[in-house]
Structure 1
Amino acid sequence: MNMKYVQSSHIDSVGYDSDTGLLVFEFKDGSVYEYLEVPEYVHQELLSADSIGRYAHQNIYNTYRSNKVR
């Protein structure tokens, strides 16, 4: 999965697998979380949001199942 660096105070990079709906966040502190069954439109909205962190808080963190990878 290719990770894309983003402009955010807490998130370093974001990756997405459109085949599985797996969305991955790598945070500035080195932690990595994956979010399961995320629709493509959510990924697109995330990347185009004025604030990626705010969008993630409002639409992803408490909406989709997640696993801490690292």
Structure 2
Amino acid sequence: MRRQAVSSTSIASVGYDAAVSTLEVEFRNGHVYQYLEVAKRLYWALMSADSMGAFLNREIRDQHEFRRIS
């Protein structure tokens, strides 16, 4: 999945695959996670959030199944 670099203290890059509703997040520590069944509106909200890390923790992390891919 293609990710784009973001300006965040905890997140390095973010990608989204609308065909399968999967959000991919690369953290500054190098770990990459995929969050499953994430609505496109949440992706856009994450990308425009004042604090991407706080938004991810509050709205996505505990509400969606995820897998670590690296």
Q: TM-score, normalised by structure 2?
A: 0.96
Deviation at 1:5, TM superposition (A): 0.7
Runs of 5+ in structure 2 lacking a partner? none
Fraction of identical pairs, as percent: 37
Structure 1 residue matching 2:13: 3-state secondary structure: strand
- Per the alignment, residue 51 of structure 1 pairs with 51
State how far apart, in whole Å, the 2-side matches of 1:48 and 1:28 are: 19
Deviation at 1:44, TM superposition (A): 0.4
State how far apart, in whole Å, the 1-side matches of 2:4 and 2:33 are: 15
- Per the alignment, residue 25 of structure 1 pairs with 25
Structure 2 residue matching 1:60: 3-state secondary structure: helix
Pairing of 1:1-70 with structure 2 (within 5 A): 1-70=1-70
Runs (4+) of structure 1 exceeding 2 A deviation are none
- Alpha carbon RMSD of aligned pairs, Å? 0.6
Deviation digits for residues 11-66 of structure 1, max 9, x if unmatched? 10000000100100001111110000100000000001111111101101101000
Q: TM-score, normalised by structure 1?
A: 0.96
Which amino acid in structure 1 is aligned with residue 55 of structure 2?
A: Y
State how far apart, in whole Å, the 1-side matches of 2:45 and 2:66 are: 19
